[in-house]
Amino acid sequence: MKALRPALPLLLGLVLWQGAVWLWQVPSFILPGPVRVAAALVDNAGLIAGHAAVTGLEVALGLGLGAVLGWLSAVALALSPAARGAIGPILVFTQAVPVFALAPILTLWFGYGLGSKVAMALLIIYFPVTSSFLDALLQTPAPWLAQARVMGGGGWRQMWYLRIPAALPGFLSGLKLAAVYAPIGAVIGEWVGASRGLGYLMLLANGRAKTDLMFAALVVLAVLAIALHRAVDHLAAAALRRRFG
């Protein structure tokens, strides 16, 4: 029974959803019930799987590049107060601009293929990874740094052997947050211009009034995001156990 408890709220929501559709006789083109969505998912399994594979690749590439660039940027900014003063406001500015406003520009620059979607996911992922890791790097306890200086540790040695290991939880926290945001960036890019992907499939289904197919694609996207977050969470837990025992 304990294993089933996390699924009970989901099952209750599905029952209420189906009951509301039956009770108020909501037209299926406005709100299909879970039974109809499940049928659309089964009937179009091959189609949805193909589009999900494209979105999954975009998300994986964006998350990987965002993690690497965020890690490198945070280390560089932590080593240079001047760089933090100059580049910090630019990082904030990238988050102040609405993502939808940047999607057409990225499509213009990188085309309608994989590049623009990866760039959009990267843009959304980069800030939380960089910000979380940089904050953790800057919060290394002062006595630790003083002890490292007494032992002859310079800036790079302190960073590599002390500050980065101590800031690992902060980096992993930002990475887990990025895993949730990554699918959003990829789907926004697909909405602006694409010929493959779950975002494209949702627009196509909506234009043809196939609301059940649109909901089926949305369900798969949600499952993809949850699976990605769980995978990153497990990797983060394993990394912390290995580092701190």
* Cβ atoms of residues 240 and 171 within 8 Å: no
Q: Look at 39 and 161; give whichever has higher pLDDT.
A: 39
Q: How far, in Å, CA of 231 to CA of 214, rounded?
A: 26
- Confidence at residue 8, expressed as pLDDT on a 0 to 100 scale: 77
Q: How far is CA 83 from the centre of its chain?
A: 27
Q: How far, in Å, CA of 144 to CA of 234, rounded?
A: 29
pLDDT digits (tens, 9 = 90+) for 206-235: 888 899 999 999 999 999 988 998 888 888
Residue for token digits 């769980």?
Answer: 230
Taking the domains of the chain in order of start, what are their residue ranges? Answer: 38-244
What letter would DSSP give residue 97? S
DSSP character string of 202-221: HHHHHHTT-HHHHHHHHHHH
Instruction: Give Cα separations from 16 to 21, 24, 33, 223, 234 (angstroms).
Output: 9, 12, 10, 20, 32
For residue 130, give the 3-state DSSP assignment. helix
Q: How far, in Å, CA of 193 to CA of 92, rounded?
A: 27
Question: Into which CATH architecture does domain 38-244 fall?
Answer: Orthogonal Bundle (1.10)
Residue for token digits 């290394």?
Answer: 140
Q: What is the mean pLDDT of the chain?
A: 84
Residue for token digits 């040695």?
Answer: 157
Q: Nearest Cα to 195, choosing from 108, 113, 109, 102?
A: 113
Q: Tokens at residue 160, please?
A: 């590599």
Q: How far, in Å, CA of 217 to CA of 201, rounded?
A: 7
pLDDT digits (tens, 9 = 90+) for 101-143: 788 888 888 888 888 889 888 888 888 899 889 998 888 777 7
pLDDT digits (tens, 9 = 90+) for 187-198: 988 988 878 899
pTM: predicted TM-score of the whole model, two decimal places? 0.85
Residues 93, 104, 63: CA angle, nearest 5 degrees: 65
For residue 25, give the 3-state DSSP assignment. coil
- One-letter amino acid at 69 equals L
Number of neighbours of residue 92 by Cβ within 10 angstroms? 11
Q: How far, in Å, CA of 100 to CA of 98, rounded?
A: 5
Instruction: Give Cα separations from 45 to 52, 79, 112, 132, 221 (angstroms).
Output: 10, 50, 25, 38, 13
Instruction: Give Cα separations from 56 to 52, 84, 100, 129, 183 (angstroms).
Output: 6, 33, 20, 20, 8
Range of lowest pLDDT (42-51, 56-65, 80-89, 119-128): 80-89
